[in-house]
Structure 1
């Protein structure tokens, strides 16, 4: 009898504790906008110190994939999400600016050129300093450079001061899996997004401007876009990457 009473009390206490402890908020979730599917990962200002950029491993060679990134984590750390974070050369070195923990790994590039990176205006995603998150047009960044704990340059800009990039076409037939980052107008939230299916630049830009209400957003890449996000049971593998950005936390 006592054993049965104890069991029932234990079940009751367990249920009360489950009700009292809120479920952990998800970092990443699936969403739709204008009929297109995306995965969206949010990082709030308080989480900025846990956001990391990776390029090279301890041996000085590019990490290139999520498995190698996870291998660099300390005991008690887990990867909440990660994605490719900018364009890179054939040797996986970044094309433009890369700042990791305040150290400049690669310099800023302000000239135009071929490819998506050179489709000016391009921009820089910057974290830290007096504003947790920023997306800044590259030439403006170079002219009045803020202090950044992390920074990565890519292009083109998706949204510039509330407007879509002027070269985006509504009726474009260029479709890729695309990923990028946008910042809330107050700089307190960074939105990392990747499309679930191939989308145009115009569709992807509208996600940030109209679906998320950001005034500045930056394209990371297209055909090689990859995401690691346990919240949505996604771990993309395949092609190697250059810079990788992600959020680190305690194991779930």
Structure 2
């Protein structure tokens, strides 16, 4: 009986440890969010839609293979905006200074048209910006841009339409600008409300943040044990580095 009493707590502790380790590992890897902070002064970041044969990359694996063949390593990637049934970007899309899809200022159903929506864009001086759609102007220095919606953080505040405890939950990914100018790319690990997702960007210090997409979202971050390579997207945002 004494042996039984000694063994039982030990077994209980092992079971408890087995339950807690995955949770501890998740928090160590960034908790409920997968994220990457990109310093554009040191890290190449751009948007991708089609290759040099005018074929859509489709998946994160498709982009990875294309970059591999060109001596580039994909460091982090995720889908970068909504798309129509033909997988063309929904709303503004600029690539290498060329406007391939014009700005969409109309109204309609769905998350894209939740006002205010906005634009994430990069400029020739290697800086990143997010603004509301109505405020976007291309002065010829915009190198890449993707439009989406809704805005998650506007001048440091959450949109008033977002409510704590909302039952509208989904896997979500988005982009924000940190106080030091770095780009915060993030995806939720589980279904989450707009309020909670936007709060993540606000707590990180982002004064502007933009929702990119929902349940189709995928992220590629092999350094953190997140090498998702599937998906079927329109535009993809990717951070690269030269292959060693």
In the superposition, the TM-score normalised over structure 1's length comes to 0.80
Q: Deviations over 1:73-93 (max 9, x none)?
A: 244310001100000001110
Q: 1:178, 1:223 within 8 Å by CA — same for their partners in 2?
A: yes
Q: Secondary structure at the match of 2:111?
A: coil
Gaps of 5+ in 2: 1-27
Contact 1:40/1:191 (8 A) holds in 2 = yes
1:70 offset after TM fit, Å? 1.6
Does residue 184 of the first structure (1) align with residue 178 of the second (2)?
yes
CA distance in 2, matches of 1:112, 1:99: 21
Q: Distance in 1 between matches of 2:221 and 2:200?
A: 19
Instruction: Tell me the secondary structure at the aligned position of residue 31 of structure 1.
Output: coil
CA contact (8 A) 2:60 2:231 kept: no
Would you identify which runs of 4 or more consecutive aligned residues in structure 1 move more than 4 Å? none
Whole-Å separation in 2 of the counterparts to 1:235 and 1:103:
31
* RMSD between superposed Cα atoms in Å: 1.8
Give 1:9's aligned residue. Answer: none
The alpha-carbon deviation at position 250 of structure 1 amounts to 2.2
Query: Distance between the aligned counterparts of 1:60 and 1:129, measured in 2?
Result: 24
Gap change, CA 1:108 and 1:180, over 3 Å in 2: same
Q: Where does residue 22 of structure 2 map in the other structure?
A: none
When residues 40 and 146 of structure 1 are mapped into structure 2, their CA distance, relative to the original with a 3 A threshold, is: farther
Instruction: Give matches, 1:140-179, under 5 Å.
Output: 140-142=135-137, 147-179=141-173
What SS class does the counterpart of residue 45 from structure 1 fall into? coil
Q: Residue 208 of structure 1 corresponds to which residue in structure 2?
A: 201
Q: What residue number does 2:94 align with?
A: 99
Match of 1:194 among 155, 166, 187: 187
Q: How many residues align?
A: 216
Gaps of 5+ in 1: 1-28
CA contact (8 A) 1:62 1:93 kept: no
- Structure-2-length-normalised TM-score: 0.83
Of the three residues 76, 93, 107, the one matched with 1:81 is: 76
